[in-house]
Amino acid sequence: MSAPRPHRVVIVAFPGVELLDVTGPAEVFSVASRAAGDGHAAYTVQIATEDGGALTTSSGVRLLADLRLGDVTGQVDTLLVSGAVTRPGAAVRAVVDPVVTDWLRTAVPRAARTGSVCAGAHLLAAAGLLDGRSATTHWLTAAQLTAEHPQISVDPDAIFVRSGSLWTCAGITSGMDMALAMVAEDHGHALALATARMMVMYVKRSGGQSQFSVPLSVEEPTCDRIGELLQWITEHPAEDLSAEALARRVSLSPRHFSRLFSQRTGTTPAAYVERARLETARRLLEESDSALPQIAAASGLGSFQTLHRCFRRHLGTTPAEYRRRFR
C-alpha cells in the first residue's frame, strides 16, 4: 500500500516580511512531520516569492525561496500569506505588496485552505477575499484593516479566526498557534499535542482567546507606584479594588489617584479592575474544574450573575460556553 501524500503547504513571502511569519508556521508543520513518527512526511513546506530568489526580511535575515509565484501549480493544501509592517513616523502600517495581492486573486480559489499570518490579512483584504467575512490581524493594524475594508468584520483581539476555508491570525507568533490548529484539523488532536510538546508551545492558546493579557494592554506606566499597583491587582483580584482602596494603597487622594491612573494607563481604575478580574475568570475556566460561583468569587466578580453579565458584555458569550470552547 502506497504512503499517503504529504499535505502541501506553500508560504508566500515578499521583501520586508516578518521572519517569524514564515519560519514559525513552517517549523510547526516540520515538527508535526517528525512527531508523526511513521517514516512518512505529514507535510511538505515551500516558500514562494515573486522571482523565486533570495529576499531580505524585516530582521535583516535573508530567505531563499523554493519557487516563483508563477510556478505554484498543482494541488496546494494550505496557502499561507505572511505579512509586513512599516512605521512612517509614530504610526504602524501594514504593507500591501501589489504583486502578491494580484496573484492571490487567482491562487486562493485554487487552494484547499488559505491562512494569513499577522498583517498578511491586509493582502487578502486588498484582493477582495475577506469581504463579508470575519477576520483578525495584529492589534497594531486592526484599526487600519477596519478603516480600509469596512465590509470585513474585524476582531482585533482574537488569536486566530476561521471563516470557512479562510483563516486569519494575529501578530507574528500567533501564526504558530494557527498552524497548530491546522495540524489538529488535518491529523487529529494527538499529533497537535505531540507537536506542541516538542516545541514547548502552549497548546491551549485557542483561536478566540485574547491577543494579550490585561497588563500588556496598557502602556508601561512611568510612575513606579502605578506599575507596582497593576501587578498587585493582577495577583489579588478578590481584594477590595475600589478606587478608594487602591488610592489608599499608593498613598494618594482618590481624586488625584484616579486622574494619575487614567493618565498612565489610558483607562479608569474601575474598567481596568473589571478586565483584570475577567482575565482571571477566563484562566480559571480554562484550567480548573471549579464551579461557576466559585470562579466568580475567586476572580473578584462576586456573584454568578455578575460573572455572566461581564462575559456577555466583553466577550459576547456565557462562562459555560467559554469553558466548553476552551477546555
169 and 298 both lie in a single domain = no
For residue 286, tell me if it sits in a domain: yes
Same domain for 222 and 182: no
pLDDT in tens, 21-32: 999 999 999 999
Whether residue 210 is contained in a domain is answered as no
Indicate which CATH number applies to the domain containing 172. 3.40.50.880
Q: Are residues 189 and 322 in the same domain?
A: no
**163 and 240 in a common domain:** no
Beta strand 62-64 with 153-154 is: unpaired
Q: Do both 192 and 222 map to the same domain?
A: no
245: CB partners within 8 A, 6+ apart: 239
> pLDDT-derived band of residue 221, with 50, 70 and 90 as boundaries?
very low
Residue 2 lies in a domain: no
Same domain, 28 and 84: yes
205 within a domain of the structure (yes/no) = no
The confidence score (pLDDT) of residue 205 equals 54
The domain that holds 295 is classified in CATH as 1.10.10.60
Torsion of the alpha carbons at 276, 281, 286 and 287, rounded to the nearest 10 = 90
- Residue, of 312 and 167, whose pLDDT is higher: 167
Q: How far apart are CA 160 and CA 209, in angstroms?
A: 8
pTM: 0.70
pLDDT of residue 156: 84
**176 and 223 both lie in a single domain:** no
* Measured distance between the N- and C-terminal CA atoms of the chain, rounded to whole angstroms: 38
Q: Extract the C-alpha cell encoding 221.
A: 506606566
Contacts of 295 by beta carbon, 8 Å cutoff, 6+ apart:
281, 284, 285, 288, 307, 319
pLDDT at 16 over 80: yes
DSSP-assigned beta bridge partners for residue 79 = 10, 114
For residue range 59-92, what is the model confidence (pLDDT) as tens digits? 999 999 999 999 999 999 999 999 999 987 768 9
Cell numbers for 104: 492571490
Domain presence at residue 222: yes
Whether 282 has a pLDDT exceeding 80, the answer reads: yes
**Do both 191 and 222 map to the same domain?**
no
Residue pLDDT, tens place only, 286-323: 788 999 999 999 999 999 999 999 988 887 788 998 88
The C-alpha atoms of residue 231 and residue 240 are separated, in whole angstroms, by 15
| Mean pLDDT taken over the chain | 89
Quote the number of domains for the chain.
2
Q: 150, 167, 199: which is the final residue of a domain?
A: 199
% of the chain at pLDDT higher than 70: 91
Is residue 207 in some structural domain? no
Q: What torsion do the CA atoms of 279, 280, 282, 285 make, to the nearest 10 degrees?
A: 180
Query: Mean of the pLDDT values across residues 128-138?
Result: 95
In this structure, the answer to whether residues 104 and 194 fall within a common structural domain is yes
Query: Which range in 78-92, 112-126, 144-158, 303-317 is most confidently predicted, on average pLDDT?
Result: 112-126
**Which amino acid is present at 30?**
S
Categorise residue 266: left if φ over 0, alpha if ψ from -120 to 50, beta otherwise.
left
Whether residue 316 is found in the same domain as residue 289: yes
* Strands (DSSP E) found in 158-273: 160-163, 166-169
Identify the pLDDT of residue 52. Answer: 96
84 is a domain residue: yes
Q: Is residue 206 one of the residues assigned to a domain?
A: no
Tell me if residue 56 falls in helix, strand or coil.
Answer: strand
Considering the domain architecture, whether residues 194 and 245 belong to the same structural domain is answered as: no
Per-residue confidence (pLDDT) for residue 322, from 0 to 100: 81
* Residue range of the domain that includes 243: 215-326
Which of 168, 199, 230 is the last residue in one of the domains? 199
pLDDT of residue 208: 55
pLDDT at res. 98: 97
Query: How far is the C-alpha of 118 from the C-alpha of 99, rounded, in Å?
Result: 18
Same domain, 221 and 194: no
